Chain A
Amino acid sequence: MSEIVNHLIHQQSSHCETGVVANMLSSKGFAMSEPMAFGLASALTFAYLPFVKIGGLPLIAYRMPPKTIIKTVAKKLNIELITRKFSNPQKGMQALDQALEEGHIVGLQTSVYWLPYFPEDMRFHFNAHNLTVYGKNAQGDYLISDPVFEEVVTCSPESLQRARFAKGALAPKGLMYILGKVPEKIDLAPQIYKSLKKTAKMMNGLPVPGVPFFGVKGIRYLAKKISELENKPSKYARLYLGHIVRMQEEIGTGGAGFRFIFASFLDEASKLTGDSELFELSQFTTEIGDQWRAFAVQAVLFCKDRKSISLQDISAVLIKCAEMEKQLQSRLLSLSAFK
């Protein structure tokens, strides 16, 4: 089998999808950092979804659902995004091979569980992990740039096929995507302000009465749920809090991580536009991220020794997070650039 290696710049990132976007664009000659991709996609949010269960516990997301980031960034920069899904795994793998032969680097949605290069303790059934395939070696293994790893990795065709066609919630169905031609010059500044406005608007949650699951409302709702844990068996309370921390920190860099990425985006944006207000907001977002980390510390403290801290205290830390995010929202909306 002949070897294919397409041009790719691999840079480690915090989060898979933004990392894939940044790496794909950079490889195409348009230098884009991960935080910039995250910010442009207005990916920062909060969602508490009690009806989507993971291991019997509710899904908590700190960013927009999978695929929105790549779609929004491509749309903002006016780049064509070619996506394909497959019902037949063989056809899906053939299409991947063909795209590689044509010299493309290909983004894929996969299930973490079936990727053999992941550490054992991190493998779980999460179907929306993104990575980039940039070639194939002489043994027929795929050359993969997985943005959350330091270095590029390889994966056998069998494992990759299984990962691409895993079933269950958020099933990838073999999704692959290729970027079209990248324009040479793009003025990012107007796009930055547009996406900031969108982020700020989303932070309030859905304007629908009786749907308290998103944005600041969602954080308050979660805080209420935590204070209600007192009437539940302590084993459940432990699992529930541990689960929140896992969703926040381990799975896809989580809550605090995303706040830091957003702060980094604001920092970069202020350099690009020369707007010092954005830099102040970046510092404030850092404080929010630190507050989320404080929440994780307290939640784990409860799991270790539940006498030293009460559920009300943990809930109070979370309410502080909600208050700070509300402040960030009003400060974002009152930026002088919007006046």
Chain B
Amino acid sequence: MKAKQVPQDNSPSYSGHKKLVYAVNDSGHYTGIQSSGWEVENFATQMAVDDLNEQTLTAIKDYHDGKASSLAYHMCKHRFDISALAQCTGFFQWQIRRHLLPHIFSRLSQRKLKNYSAAFSITIAQLTRVPEHP
């Protein structure tokens, strides 16, 4: 990549920051150049973020429809998936899958709730609440 070809596409996901990349200058040697983002990379990031947002919206809807517990929403909101949450809390994945059901989540002990709220770094009261909108 030539120094002039370093993309400067102002990616929104960088929030105004700049990243350093290495590129070839006119004399054929390498220098570090700041880049404000690449459109291609931004698209991939945006796709992942959109996917997460969509999952969060579904989780909110499912909670208000009584199809999922508030855990589903907080898991999405804090960017966990079931396997990551299992590693973080020490629960088995099948346990977490059960806890995503409202009638089972509502009977969880304080100790288990505390485990989840610690993983998300929120209070137990926050853990059991889901906003109407994200």
Chain A contacts to B: CB under 8 angstroms? 12-14, 34-35, 53, 55-56, 113-114, 119-125, 148-150, 162, 166-169, 171, 238-239, 242-243, 245-246, 249-250, 253, 256-257, 260-261, 263-264, 267-268, 271, 282-283, 286, 289-290, 293, 296-297, 299-300, 303-304
- B48–A246 contact, CB under 8 A? yes
Q: Is the CB of B45 within 8 A of A250?
A: yes
- Return 8 A-B CB contacts under 8 Å, by A number: A53-B83, A168-B87, A238-B47, A245-B40, A260-B23, A263-B22, A286-B24, A300-B44
Known contacts A167-B88, A268-B30; 20 further A-B pairs (Cβ under 8 A): A13-B32, A14-B22, A14-B32, A122-B14, A167-B89, A167-B119, A168-B87, A242-B43, A243-B44, A243-B48, A245-B40, A245-B41, A246-B41, A249-B41, A250-B41, A250-B44, A264-B30, A267-B30, A296-B44, A297-B40
A171 to B87, CA, bound (A): 10
CA distance A282 to B25 in the complex (A): 13
Q: How far does the Cβ of A267 sit from chain B's closest Cβ, in whole Å?
A: 5
- Would B13 and A121 count as touching, CB distance under 8 A? yes
Closest to A149 in B: B17
B111 at the interface (CB under 8 A from A): no
Given contacts A35-B22, A264-B30, contact A122 B40 (CB under 8 A): no
Q: How large is the interface on B (under 10, 10 to 19, 20 to 34, 35 or more residues)?
A: 35 or more
Closest-CB distance, A66 to chain B (whole angstroms): 16
Q: Find B88's partner among A148, A168, A261, A283 (CB 8 Å cutoff).
A: A168
Q: Are B30 and A35 interface neighbours, CB within 8 A?
A: yes
A167 and B40 in contact, given A13-B20, A283-B28 (Cβ under 8 angstroms):
no
The reply to whether the CB of B92 lies closer than 8 angstroms to some CB of chain A is: no
Q: Main secondary structure on chain A at its contact with chain B?
A: helix
How far does the alpha carbon of A303 sit from the alpha carbon of B41 in the complex, in Å?
Answer: 12
The 10 closest A-B pairs by CB, nearest first: A119-B15, A264-B30, A121-B13, A249-B41, A245-B44, A168-B87, A260-B22, A167-B88, A264-B22, A242-B47
Whole-angstrom distance between the alpha carbons of A256 and B48 in the complex?
A: 20
Cβ contact within 8 Å between A296 and B41: yes
Name B7's closest neighbour in chain A (CB-CB). A293
Asked if residues A303 and B30 are in contact (CB atoms below 8 Å), the reply is no
Decide if A246 touches B44 in the complex (CB within 8 Å). Answer: yes
**Chain A residues, CB < 8 A from B126:** none
Q: Is B94 an interface residue (CB 8 A)?
A: no
Partner of A246, one of B1, B17, B28, B45: B45
Interface residues as binary, B1-23 with A (CB distance below 8 Å gives 1, 0 otherwise): 10000000000111101111111
Residues facing A in B73-132 (CB within 8 A) are: 78-81, 83-84, 87-89, 119, 121
